[in-house]
């Protein structure tokens, strides 16, 4: 175990046991050893010694050892946050922090001490208020992990609910947690105003990230004066890979949106390459339903891409307001999206994250522009696909079965996602449902879709048939390509008009 943990363990021992941990079980040879052993924060020491030290506290206080381990995690969390300060974005919430813990450990421990073996942490962000965590370690200190999460929540002033759904101590191959922020809460941390988290109306799925989070106390990132010669006006939003700024191109007198990679993500060379590949991939496509790229560059060590500033809102925004769309409108949006995907697929590019958030509706006509090709995969260049270790890239509710199973992925995976989007537009529900992201993924893998005839009985059978083929479990049973979907939707619209 890393010496840094021992450093804080000694501080915990001094405060936890009656009379100080060194005084616990005064006659034991173990307590004497703990007083005399020198643990350096830069060293690596046997796990058994840490467990024995916590055991002394359990013995002295009469508390079960697992409870003591969790208490130590709560004690440890604020100290680790302080030590890791340079690796932490001050705007992160608790779930952001848990989501980035693996990269923080890598930066602080693995890079500087290759001999250390910290636990493997894999996360899946479900939505704005829920995250799933898988913990694997021969140490089986899952209670320490739970304590760390509670300690971080306390330090950030955020309430948290933790459910352990599997545990190595119960014979499972790994421990898994569902970490939730309560449905509605407010907090005041002395820095800003109250924070309110508001959730969507009943009926949305855990796998469908449509929660609305309103914050007035987040620490806003410093606004750069300019990026790539473009005058920055304000922050538009943030995502998993970068921040998007509204800026003005004084040379051409037009507003632009500039996506800049997050500093903590840009430290990894593979992440920088993935980010830049987004711009190169999209720049190859000249199509009215795909957002174009104006420029690409690096500013202050951070890659950025320049895109047009689009007036309008996402399909996700519209569905939050209208829930279901008329059949003709839903088919139009799906057809325009399929047309843009056909152009991308013709270039050998698979989007891999087609969902309402990435379908932007521009202007009063609400014409489609597909955005955020950040997960785009070049299927024509061997070895060019980049992924993030320990992560599932994409939004669970819209992922094709072959992506979940790590199978062969081509344009038909995007068609599956488009089918889920079309079903959501027509029924207001997702075809694959579940309480957690894991259960949604399981439903997709099994092909257990809620038929559109059940969720939206008024939708014409021909349209329901198209949706069923788009979300077919076997890619071979889906339409041959996006161009075929464009043609079929055009024919459907014509027949329904008669």
Which residues does the annotation mark as catalytic? 353
What phi and psi, each to the nearest 5 degrees, are found at residue 132?
A: -110, 140
The helix/strand/coil state of 383 is: coil
d(CA 212, CA 127) in angstroms, rounded, equals 9
DSSP 28-84: -HHHHHHHH----TT-B--HHHHHHHHHHHHHHHT--HHHHHHHHHHHHHHHHHHHT
Distance CA 7, CA 38 (A): 10
Cα–Cα distance measured from residue 344 to residue 290, given in angstroms and rounded to the nearest whole number: 8
Burial 100-109 (b: 16+ CB within 10 A, else e): bbbbbbbbbb
CB 296 within 8 A of CB 304: yes
Phi-psi region of 362 (alpha: psi -120 to 50; beta: other; left: phi over 0): beta
The one-character DSSP state at 182 is: -
Chain centroid offset of residue 50 CA: 33
Tokens of 493: 């619209």
Instruction: Compute the distance between CA of residue 421 and CA of residue 428 in angstroms, rounded to an integer.
Output: 10
How far does the chain reach from its first CA to its final CA, in angstroms?
72
Q: Enumerate residues 6+ apart whose C-beta is below 8 A from 439.
A: 206
- Burial of 230-264, coded b for 16+ CB within 10 Å and e otherwise, reads bebeeeeebeebbbbbbbbbeeeeeebbbbbbbeb
C-beta separation of 415 from 421 below 8 A: no
d(CA 230, CA 442): 46
H-helix segments, 109-163: 142-156
Contact 356, 325 (CB under 8 A): no
d(CA 280, CA 433): 35
**Contact of 146 with 98, CB cutoff 8 Å:** no
Q: Which tokens go with 132?
A: 């799933």
Which regions of 221-293 does DSSP assign to beta strands (E)? 226-227, 230-238, 242-249, 254-261
């Amino acid at each position: 175990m890393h010496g840094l943990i021992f450093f804080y363990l000694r501080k915990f021992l001094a405060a936890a046991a009656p009379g100080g941990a060194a005084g616990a079980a005064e006659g034991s040879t173990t307590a004497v050893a703990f007083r005399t052993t020198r643990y350096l924060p830069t060293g690596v020491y046997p796990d058994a010694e840490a467990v024995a030290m916590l055991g002394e506290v359990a013995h002295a206080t009469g508390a079960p050892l697992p409870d003591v381990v969790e208490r130590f995690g709560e004690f440890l969390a604020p100290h680790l946050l302080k030590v890791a300060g340079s690796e932490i974005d001050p705007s992160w919430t608790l779930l952001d922090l848990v989501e980035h813990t693996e990269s923080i450990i890598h930066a602080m421990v693995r890079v500087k001490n290759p001999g250390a073996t910290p636990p493997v942490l894999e996360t899946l962000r479900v939505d704005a208020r829920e995250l799933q965590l898988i913990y694997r370690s021969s140490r089986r200190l899952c209670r320490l992990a739970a304590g760390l999460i509670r300690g971080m929540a306390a330090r950030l002033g955020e309430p948290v609910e933790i459910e352990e759904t599997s545990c190595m101590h119960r014979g499972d191959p790994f421990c898994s947690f569902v970490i939730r922020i309560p449905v509605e809460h407010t907090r005041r941390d002395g820095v800003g105003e109250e924070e309110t988290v508001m959730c969507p109306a009943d009926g949305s799925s855990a796998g469908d990230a449509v929660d609305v989070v309103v914050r007035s106390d987040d620490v806003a990132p410093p606004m750069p004066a300019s990026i790539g010669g473009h005058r920055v006006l304000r922050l538009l939003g943030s995502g998993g890979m970068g921040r998007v700024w509204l800026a003005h191109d004084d040379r051409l007198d037009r507003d632009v949106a500039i996506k800049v990679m997050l500093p903590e993500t840009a430290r990894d060379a593979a992440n920088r390459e993935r980010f830049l590949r987004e711009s190169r991939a999209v720049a190859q496509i000249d199509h009215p339903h795909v957002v174009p790229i104006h420029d690409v560059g690096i500013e202050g060590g951070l890659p950025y891409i320049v895109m047009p500033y689009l007036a309008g809102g996402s399909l996700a925004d519209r569905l939050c307001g209208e829930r279901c769309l008329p059949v003709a409108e839903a088919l139009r949006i799906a057809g325009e999206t399929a047309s843009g995907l056909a152009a991308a697929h013709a270039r050998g590019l698979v989007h891999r994250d087609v969902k309402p958030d990435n379908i932007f509706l521009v202007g009063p006509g609400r014409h489609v522009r597909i955005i955020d090709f950040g997960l785009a995969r070049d299927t024509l260049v061997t070895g060019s696909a980049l992924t993030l270790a320990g992560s599932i890239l994409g939004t669970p509710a819209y992922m094709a079965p072959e992506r979940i199973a790590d199978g062969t992925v081509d344009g038909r995976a995007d068609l599956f996602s488009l089918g889920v989007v079309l079903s959501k537009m027509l029924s207001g529900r997702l075809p694959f449902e579940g309480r957690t992201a894991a259960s949604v993924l399981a439903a997709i893998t099994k092909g257990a879709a809620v038929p559109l005839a059940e969720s939206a009985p008024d939708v014409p059978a021909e349209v329901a048939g198209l949706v069923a083929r788009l979300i077919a479990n076997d890619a071979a049973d889906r339409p041959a390509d996006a161009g075929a979907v464009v043609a079929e939707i055009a024919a459907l619209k014509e027949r329904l008009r008669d």
